Amino acid sequence: MAEGLRVVAPGITSTLQDAGRQGYLRYGISGSGAMDPDLLALANALVGNLLDTAVIEMAMVGPTLVCEVESCRIALAGAPFAMSLNGRILDSFTAHDLRRGDRLILGAPRQGLRACLAVTGGFAVAPMLASVSTHTRTRLGGLDGNPLAAGDLLPLGAPKFSDRPLTLPPLHRPRLGGPIRVVLGPQADSFTEEGLRTFLSVPYTLTARADRMGCHLDGPPIAHADGFNIVSDGIVNGSIQVPGHGRPLILLADRHTTGGYPKIATVITADLGRLAQVRPGETIVFEAVTVEEAQSLARGARRTLAARRAALVPAGGAELDSAFLLSCNLIGGVISAGALEPAA
Amino acid sequence: MSDPGYRLLDCGDRAMTVELGKTVDPTVNAQVIALDAALRGAGRSGLLETVPTYRSLLVLYDPDLLTRADLVALISAHWPPPDGSAQALRRWRVPVHYGGEHGADLADLAGGAGLSPEEVIALHSNRDYRVYMIGFAPGFAYLGGLDPRIHASRRTDPRPKTPAGSVSIGGNQTGVSPPLELPSGWQLIGRTPARSYDPARAEPFLFTAGDLIRFDPIGRAEFDALSEAARAGETVATLERIDG
């Protein structure tokens, strides 16, 4: 009989993602992959996987899963989603063991938007174009190119348990918020000076039209210098297009590979993960940096990730968990994962 | 420094666009394809991916393996790319069933051009097109070389979904869709049973920028038979080598 993790409720958009596809942009294939590669790495590190093993990436409301294998180990990294196992509240950034029949409920995050759930051994799903990453519009990756759906059974790879579940101590966990920095261009000269000033000074609000492909922003229009059609050229993860209406559109992991609107700037690599946590209704202020600064910030972000991996320690058991939960409750108030479960 | 013939535009901290022009122009596109071949041939570590488009080449790089300054020098060292290197080495013969339910706009387009549908088919099928770029969707081929008599403006009312494998005309270009139902404002004149993109096939993509394509009109029965063969993994389109 087939075994794995059974999806009871899929959440809002939960997809399998790994590090994405490389080398296919020239054929019109999106890169896809986890919206925050550091969370992919951390979730996997917590369960002892290779860092680019596929995970479940969730947004806004996570899935409800039932363990249909003898046992497996899971860990959640990212926004503080309410998470419970058979009704007991679980800490994120900590590995937990599931037994057959256990019910894992992911609710909504107190803040932020996305998280990655890793399982020891990963998911036994055949890669398409060298990746398991789901790209729903072209039906690539995941289970037949689809997001998780109620009833799906996610087969697991061979588990390799380490002795004790690991945890990332709270001090080392990523914090949400902070600037979204950009490198101006490639078509910054398609905008007036006034337009560039607007772009770099005014807060822009993330609209409800925001997904893995890109996010539409609302705010004062940015003035084009001479029209808003260019002959299509290549788009990268983080490219900020400004269509005719003057409001920016940030293109992300699941973007088209080419496009015909001028691109005012590009979000720097080090801030793409932070951008993935901005919710509709929240605002962004863009800050310009040079290419050299952006590259140095990316190196800094990699050092931070390495330091976090080095800070992983065996989880301290129930006492420490409750102490930590108590401290969370004092700050954030009690949130019941069950109460946030979507109506299945 | 004298004008090198291109502009380098940073696209964040891991990519750069080499802009060779601002318009759709066969000469510029040939240079893009030649530069793409030259850079890929250089085999430099840290050069991750290249994306040739109409008028520019997007280069993705890993700054820890290839610094921005080294990339700038690498591009300069390969400029100008050798003239002959953009010459097409292969031609695809692509079967198309024109008109009827497979080419919803053929009759209108012919009427607008003062031609019969048969004349449009003859003008469209009887020549070589150049693949300018693949983009917008997996395997969607933008083709240059359309006869001016059948240029046709885009629909004012784009369709949210067009049939898989559509062959269409948008302005002075023609294109071939992958086996996906894409949104499009281009005029639909036919459909090919060939799957320009099939991730389950050993060779997932048929066309690449720089290839030539020639369309061969087929009837409905042949379309159905070839569609079945294509679904079973056959290429259906045939490849001809061109001797330089």
Name which of B76, B35, B8 is nearest A291 in CA terms.
B8
> Sheet containing A95-99: which strands, arranged edge to edge?
A15-17, A55-59, A114-119, A71-78, A95-99
Q: Which residues partner with A117 through β-bridges?
A: A56, A76
- CB contact under 8 Å between A291 and B9, yes or no, is no
A19 touching B (Cβ < 8 Å): no
Per CB-CB distance under 8 Å, the chain B contacts of A139 are 180
User: Residues 95 to 134 of A: which have CB under 8 A from any B CB?
Assistant: 128-129
A225 touching B (Cβ < 8 Å): no
Per CB-CB distance under 8 Å, the chain B contacts of A257 are 51, 135-136
- CB contact under 8 Å between A29 and B22, yes or no, is no
> How does the average pLDDT of chain A come out, rounded?
91
Residue type, A99: R
Q: A180-302 is classed in which CATH architecture? A: Beta Barrel (2.40)
Q: What's the CA gap between A219 and A247, in Å, rounded?
A: 7
- Nearest CB to A233 within list B14, B55, B200: B55
Token pair in block for residue A201: 């000074």
What does the pLDDT look like over B52-94, one tens digit per residue? 999 999 999 999 999 999 999 999 999 999 876 667 789 999 9
Q: Which residues partner with A104 through β-bridges?
A: A65, A85
Whether the CB-CB separation of A174 and A111 falls below 8 Å is answered with no
What does the pLDDT look like over A26-55, one tens digit per residue? 999 999 999 999 999 999 999 999 999 999
- Nearest CB to B51 within list A257, A268, A294: A257
H or E stretch including A54?
Answer: none
Per CB-CB distance under 8 Å, the chain A contacts of B13 are 183, 266, 268-269, 291, 294-295, 297-298
A88-100 burial code (b ≥16 CB/10 A, e <16): ebbbbbbbbbbee
pLDDT at B155 over 90: no
Q: What's the CA gap between A88 and A340, in Å, rounded?
A: 14
- What does the pLDDT read at residue B50? 97
Mean pLDDT of B152-160: 86
User: For B30, phi and psi rounded to 5 degrees?
Assistant: -60, -40
Token pair in block for residue B40: 């890929």
Q: What's the CA gap between A195 and B184, in Å, rounded?
A: 31
Pairing label, strands A95-99, A71-78 = antiparallel
Q: What's the CA gap between A18 and A69, in Å, rounded?
A: 22
- What does the pLDDT read at residue A344? 30
- CB contact under 8 Å between A258 and B50, yes or no, is no
The class level of CATH for B7-85 reads: alpha beta
Whether the CB-CB separation of B15 and A236 falls below 8 Å is answered with yes
Predicted complex ipTM:
0.92
Name which of B52, B61, B104 is nearest B81 in CA terms.
B52
Whether the CB-CB separation of A134 and A123 falls below 8 Å is answered with no
- CB contact under 8 Å between A26 and B51, yes or no, is yes
Complete DSSP assignment for chain B = ----S-EEEE-TTSEEEEE--SS--HHHHHHHHHHHHHHHHH--TTEEEEEE-SSEEEEEE-TTTS-HHHHHHHHHHT-SPPGGGGS--EEEEEEEEESGGG-TTHHHHHHHHT--HHHHHHHHHSS-EEEEEE-SSTTPEEEE---GGG-BPPPSS-BS---TTEEEEEBTEEEE--SS---B-SEEEEE-S--SB-TTSSS-B---TT-EEEEEE--HHHHHHHHHHHHTT---SEEEE---
More confident residue, B213 or A326: B213
B199: left (phi over 0), alpha (psi -120 to 50) or beta: alpha
- For B64-67, the CB contacts below 8 A with 24+ separation are B64/A299
- Nearest CB to B135 within list A23, A28, A267: A28
Q: What's the CA gap between B144 and B47, in Å, rounded?
A: 28
- CB contact under 8 Å between A128 and B22, yes or no, is no
- Assign domain B90-241 to its CATH superfamily: Cyclophilin-like (2.40.100.10)
- What does the pLDDT read at residue A162? 65
Q: Which residues partner with A64 through β-bridges?
A: A9, A105
What does the pLDDT look like over A232-288, one tens digit per residue? 889 999 999 998 899 999 999 999 999 888 999 999 999 999 999 999 999 999 999
Q: Domain-by-domain residue ranges, chain B?
A: 7-85, 90-241
Token pair in block for residue B152: 């046709």
Whether the CB-CB separation of B165 and B195 falls below 8 Å is answered with yes
User: What's A277's DSSP letter?
Assistant: T
Q: What's the CA gap between B180 and A118, in Å, rounded?
A: 31
Q: What's the CA gap between A104 and A63, in Å, rounded?
A: 8
Which chain A residue's Cα is nearest to B32? A233
Token pair in block for residue B135: 């983009």
Per CB-CB distance under 8 Å, the chain A contacts of B55 are 231, 233
Token pair in block for residue A312: 């992983």
Q: Domain-by-domain residue ranges, chain A?
A: 4-168+313-340, 180-302
Which chain B residue's Cα is nearest to A130? B199
A230 touching B (Cβ < 8 Å): yes
User: Residues 249 to 308 of A: which have CB under 8 A from any B CB?
Assistant: 256-258, 263, 266-269, 291-292, 294-295, 297-299
Q: What's the CA gap between A138 and A212, in Å, rounded?
A: 13
Number of CB atoms found within 10 A of residue A164's CB: 13
Report residues of chain A scoring pLDDT below 70.
Answer: 1, 161-162, 317-344
B43 touching A (Cβ < 8 Å): no
Which chain B residue's Cα is nearest to A238? B12
State how far residue A335 is from chain B, nearest Cα, in angstroms: 39
- CB contact under 8 Å between B135 and A29, yes or no, is no
